[in-house]
Structure 1
Amino acid sequence: MPPTPGDKFGSAALGLSLLVFGVFFANVVIGGPLRMKPWLSDVGEMLTLFAAVVLFVAGTLAREAAVRRRDAGSGTPDP
């Protein structure tokens, strides 16, 4: 079955969430064990983590909605 727009948006949002969280994680590692000056301030870290969470939730909801639409079209009962 070809991917739906919800699948594409969900996958993109989840990928971006992973990328943004990677930036946050790298900043924490640089400031913690490596003892270097992190490039994000406390507020910057908070906003980066917030963006990662929002993208993760949006991606998860979009993928779930796409699966529900696909299941509704195939006649599969919803558990």
Structure 2
Amino acid sequence: MGIIAWIILGLIAGLIAEQLTGRHTGWVLAAVFGIVGALLGGFLAKALFGVQSLNGFFNLSTWITAIIGAVIVVLLVGLVTRNRRA
């Protein structure tokens, strides 16, 4: 999948992750979290389940993996920033 497709997927996954977690950071950070989450999700899918490749922008497993990874990243960032404020 091309870099532009990953950026688009990351933006959408980050926005979905924000809605699922109730944390709102803005669309730029949502895109960053989504892209990082998509990469994290792909790594975890390969490490835990032996998935060799997540190819295709329209592949459902690619979207699910990216969204789950983005949710994890959004939650982790929320935990870190909450602890810093305390």
What range describes the TM-score normalised by the shorter chain of this pair?
0.3 to 0.5
Task: Between the two structures, name the one with larger relative contact order (CA 8 Å, sep ≥ 6).
Answer: 1
Q: What TM-score, normalized by structure 2, do the two folds share?
A: 0.39
- The structure that has the greater radius of gyration is 1
